[in-house]
Amino acid sequence: MLPPAAPLLFLLLVTGTGGTVPSPRAPPRGCYVAEEAGERTFRCSQAGLSAVPAGIPNDTRKLYLDANQLASLPEGAFQHLPVLEELDLSHNALAHLSGAAFQGLAGTLRHLDLSANQLASVPAEAFVGLQIQVNLSANPWHCDCALQEVLRQVRLAPGTGTGIVCGPGARPDLVGQEFLLLAREEELCGVGRGGARRGTDVALLVTMGGWLTLVVAYLVHYVWQNRDETRRSLKQAPVQPVRATLSTVEVSSTLSTVV
């Protein structure tokens, strides 16, 4: 009797793979999967990673890649994690973020930690659509327009705002200053929402100043013109004699008296 089809197929697979059964990809060394508060968590803290590791389960909700050697995040680095809610990238060497680094996370990501890296500037488009609470402290920020736009799109993690300080690459007069205090006093974007408002205000002031100048010039011209016309009229008017000439009646009366 021929053996059943299923066992035969299993034997063929085992023979074709050198006597071993394929197994799921194991996590990188130093990484492990855990259940924390009922949520799938993938921890790769202090694992010596220089890139986002492969093999992260796609049902991961919390991902810890802190204290590694990550220097950049490419486009779509986490797009294969459709339910990711929390991402810790703190204490790495991140100096560059792609504008699409968090692509695919707009509907799920809630907490993002980018503290203690080497970020001087980040593209504002990297955070478009993300409803996140983010930690940006302890980075050497340039304190530029991009950072100002980022802070208009995200919420800062409580207590982290004072840690956003202008680094050595910023304008000399900004180095060492807290960015949030600076942003309240100075608009760093030449264009954009803040820059557009400031430009509109300046244009309105210039326009009003121009109209005021025209009104003042017209009034001055009107006053001078009227004064010139008054002078001209006085010059052209006949000079009236001091004593009026004697009328005919007065002359006749005088002659009659004399006679």
Please give the helix or strand (H or E) that residue 111 lies within, else none. strand 111-113
Q: Residue 24: is its pLDDT beyond 70? A: no
- What confidence score (pLDDT) does residue 240 get? 56
State pLDDT tens for residues 192-204: 444 444 444 545 5
**Predicted structure pTM score:** 0.65
Q: Residue 47: is its pLDDT beyond 60? A: yes
Cα separation, 55 vs 77, whole angstroms: 13
Average predicted confidence (pLDDT) for the chain: 80
Task: Read off the pLDDT of each residue in 76-94 and give the average, rounded to a whole number.
Answer: 97
Give the SS3 label for residue 118: coil
Residues 142 and 167: beta-carbon distance below 8 Å: yes
> What is the DSSP secondary structure assignment for residue 52, as one 8-state letter?
P
Q: How confident is the model at residue 150 (pLDDT cuts 50, 70, 90)?
A: very high
The residue that leads in pLDDT, 37 or 251, is 37
Cα separation, 233 vs 5, whole angstroms: 126
